Amino acid sequence: MSRIFAYARVSTVEQHPENQLGEIRAAGFQLQPRRIVSETVSGSVAASERPGFARLIDRLEEGDILVVTKLDRLGRDAMDVRKTIDQLDHLGIKVHCLALGGVDLTSPAGRMTMGVINAVAEFERNLLIERTQAGLIRAKAEGKMLGRPPRLTEDQKHAVIRKLQD
């Protein structure tokens, strides 16, 4: 019989994983406390570099099911999420994502869903980059100063230069 594990990740100490665990329970998954792994770490940290996730991988066995509320709990980067899913699939572990209708991400339908979502996310990211670049070009053409505002006034800059020359 498959064992159910839950992975809940939050990014800051002000956040709490209880909401994620509540969602998993509400979806009908029976969670045993010893099979819940939660940690506070940024999603930008690769799953393989997170201490809690590494302990989880050591505990999982073929046939187990890992449940997460959203893909971004596994990682913010599509490549890292894909690598993590592939690693779990290789170990014979199914990965269910509630935000995607509870689909098993290691199944053909789950892989297709993840591929579509990753393609849309990449498309959105590319559009954002394109809009940002267009905005920067327009701002430069209008003579606007780009970047952070200077911390020193012109008088302060001249005073520093005079002191350096003394």
Q: Where are the beta strands (DSSP E) in 2-123?
A: 4-10, 36-40, 65-68, 94-97, 103-104
How much is the pLDDT for 126?
87
Which residues of the chain are modeled with pLDDT < 50? none
How much is the pLDDT for 150?
87
How much is the pLDDT for 58?
95
- Choose, from 11, 42, 48, 107, the residue flagged as catalytic: 11
**11 in active site:** yes
Distance of CA 158 to CAs 36, 39, 149, 150, Å? 60, 50, 17, 13
How much is the pLDDT for 115?
84
d(Cα 58, Cα 164) in Å, to the nearest integer? 59
Among 63, 74, 67, CA closest to 27: 67
Positive or negative torsion for Cα 64, 42, 21, 79: negative
How much is the pLDDT for 137?
94
